[in-house]
Amino acid sequence: MSLIAVLGDVHGNIEALDAVLADIGRRNVDGIYCLGDIVGYGPNPNECVDVFRNFDIGCVAGNHDLTSVDLFDVRYVNPDAQKAFAWTNKVLTQVNKDFLYTRQTSLVAYGMFLVHGSPSNPTEEYVFAKDITEDFLGSIHEKILVTAHTHVPFVKHVGERLAVNPGSVGQPRDRNNAASYAVIDTERMEAQVTRLSYDIASVVRKIEKAGLPKALGKRLYFAN
């Protein structure tokens, strides 16, 4: 039996990440994988990247990771996101920029295809549970698809295949403000999403102290 913890969309929220990793540490998992967007929006981008870089956790690239490094096409996002990208780019260390920019856009491990977005558009396409069909899964060889990006968790079986979105560690958007991650049993083809409370108020204070848009802090409470 292989139990694999999957998480994503940390978005610079070290309080939420610490809560999730502490919970994972109490489980007997065989591996941990990150589905990208380690940074963006939140006030602790370097601390979050340091965790994945120092512990050599397998990570794929997310759109916020790449954009925070090169600021490419940042003008096409909303003003709050533009400010967050610019601030994150300014404070990220070069070693952490290099780490983010050199992540692969997908990984295959333990019979899983791991990606931030979709197999055809790894960093940009949103995939919801309703999108998961036999035809959709036909684009990969693996029996399990693990995706992120929407910040909305789901576990869906399609025939003998499984699709999982672990939700967002640092900025949930499903009206539940608890940090989210998933553990997948790759042999039994089962997955469980876990939600954890953390100190949102502390993150909000740091967002405001950094001069980031206050709306990014308020959003953590309402998870929308």
Return the amino acid letter for 156.
K
Q: Is 21 helix (H, G, I), strand (E, B) or coil?
A: helix
The Cα 125–Cα 166 span in angstroms is 16
Q: Domains of the chain (ranges plus CATH)?
A: 3-222 (3.60.21.10)
CB-based contact 115:122 (threshold 8 Å): yes
- Looking at residue 1, what is its pLDDT? 63
What's the token pair of residue 83?
A: 């400010």
Angle between helix axes 63-70 and 79-91 (nearest 10 degrees) is 70
E strands, 30-83, are 31-34, 58-59
* Predicted TM-score of the model (pTM): 0.97
In the chain, which stretches have pLDDT less than 70? 1
- Kindly report, residue by residue over 23-65, the tens digit of the pLDDT: 999 999 999 999 999 999 999 999 999 999 999 899 999 999 9
Pairing of strands 112-115, 3-7: unpaired
